[in-house]
Structures are given as structure tokens and as C-alpha cells.
Structure 1
């Protein structure tokens, strides 16, 4: 299942299950649909840009879509859909890393090429949202029920969901989740 949704606290209201800094929204979707295999994609670019921004493979100015998931074949299948729709897939594995492309992050709303999407994904831990989420996760690990009550943490917790609990999670089945994707090496997958 492709998870293209975003939690908008301004519209959806504040929900404790969706503001918990220990879990990403896509992980909650996965828990809600346990027999499904969830891959997050198509959520950081606006629908109008998805509608008008498609370009053929190799075209100058082709935009990119980040893809996050746990299973190699599922991520590759969604990457093929992204490519077929006219965008370069950029891998942000595992599923918990979908936090890097949600509202409140630098990538959210970006309509840019694969190199810039990769840069924004890599920059997340140093970003305001990334730092706030890291602080919230550390606070949760220390046994606090809620993250520290700074404005940055509260905003990031509501808008930008958290991913893994302060540690990287290896892709499912070992190795890179993008090796099976055509042109993966050209897009920086390893």
C-alpha cells in the first residue's frame, strides 16, 4: 500500500497517537493495516505539482519523489510507479524514515531534483525539525510520557512525526532497499 497521507493537526486536530515522538505516521498506518506492506511516497510534493511536474526519464529538470519502506521489493515496486509517473525515486529507507518528508520538514513542499531531495533527506537530523524530534525521542527514552515543552519540539512533534528511536534501522533483508531499482546507482543508492 502506498501511504501518501499527511497528518495535519490544524485540520485533523491534535491526536496523541499521531504526535507521539516515538513513531512515524506511516508506522501507525502499518500497525493499523498489519497484513499490508506500507511504503510512503507522494506526500511531500503538492498534488498540483504531481499533476504538472512529470517529465520523461533523463529529462533536465525532472523532479524527485522520496520513497520509504521496509521491504526491498515493495520499495522497488513503488519506485517503479514513481518513475513511470515521471519522477525520479529517491530512497529514504526504512519506513520510519518517512518522517523526513512529512509536514514541518525542509523536504515537505519541495519540488526539486533527486540530488536536492537526497540532500534534504540527509540534512534532516541537523534541521530544526530533526533536532526537535531527536530531543523528543531522547526525552521519551528517559521515561518521560511527553517530550520537553519547547515550542520547536511541540511544533515538530505535531507536524513532522518521529522516526526511529535514536538509532538507524537497517533495511529489511539486508543491504540497500533500492538495489533492485533501475538506475539506482545513478540516483545515489548503494
Structure 2
């Protein structure tokens, strides 16, 4: 596993590089991976969401203290794709958290370029993203998180139990939930994850 992690880290981007790739994709009306009008459209939508959250996302004061006081040096390796809606609501918060602590180094890799890594972090057998892999100084996996907060996962599970599948109605409902939640559930989950590993 360490070799796989090291190999992935050698290809990883920082948040600025990821956003530059995002911008270039939108400008050229493309997406990552296999091209489709749907993916191109999602990429464009997510770029707008990300830009908005980069400006407006806030982290609660008590959580700021938690992240600033994190004494453990960590790399947060995120598996994602620009067309992923859940990622658009997560990455801006990850970046803000990483900026709070000199002990957190945020790195990003694309799912479809790293299938072996992705397959080590499946969610119920599926390649769901984003996945945050929390690594120690020697690249051992301390913990992983994703693809959604516990609260968003419950929303999905309940909807699936009632309707049998995830559809356009749910996707719209999830977006509204993200807008209302303002990253609170995700930030709480990540704070819990690092606090249990100190």
C-alpha cells in the first residue's frame, strides 16, 4: 500500500493546480476522463460552485481551533474528479482547513488516472468520490473519509429506501441540502477523524 500511496503522491496536484486544471477544462468545454455532454456540463456547474465556495465558505470558530491545534503532521490525499458534485461541495472546505494548519498538506489526484488507488478505497464496492485519505509522515493510512458526510449519506440512504434508486429529484434535493448545510456536516466529520488520530 505504501508504494501505491507514494506513486499517487508523486502525481498529485495542490489545490491551485487542481483549480487551474478545472478552469482550463471549462474554457475548452471538456471534462476529465471519458467525454460526454453531461460530464462537461457537470464540470462547468461544479467550477461555479467551487469558485463561489472558495469566496464564501466559513468554518466555525471551535473547529478552526481544532484544526489549528492539530499537532500531527498529515497529508490529506483526495481522490476526486471535476465533474463530481459531492467534490465541488467538499474541496473548498478541505482547502480552507489545510490553510489553517501547517501540519496539513492537501494533495489531489484524479480517480480515473489512479484506478489501483481508488480500488483500495471503495464504498460498498463502488468507486464513489471524493475520498480523503489521511496519511501520517511516512505515508501510512491513518484514516479515510468519503464520499459524503454522515448526514448526506443518511439523506441518500433514506431516499433510496423509499424510492428504490437515486434520480434527478434526489440530485436536486442533495444540492439544496449542501447549500443549506454550508459544509458544517463535512467539517464536523473531518474534525472527528483527525481528533481520533492524535
TM-score (norm 1): 0.28
Higher strand share: 2
TM-score (norm 2): 0.27
Higher helix share: 2
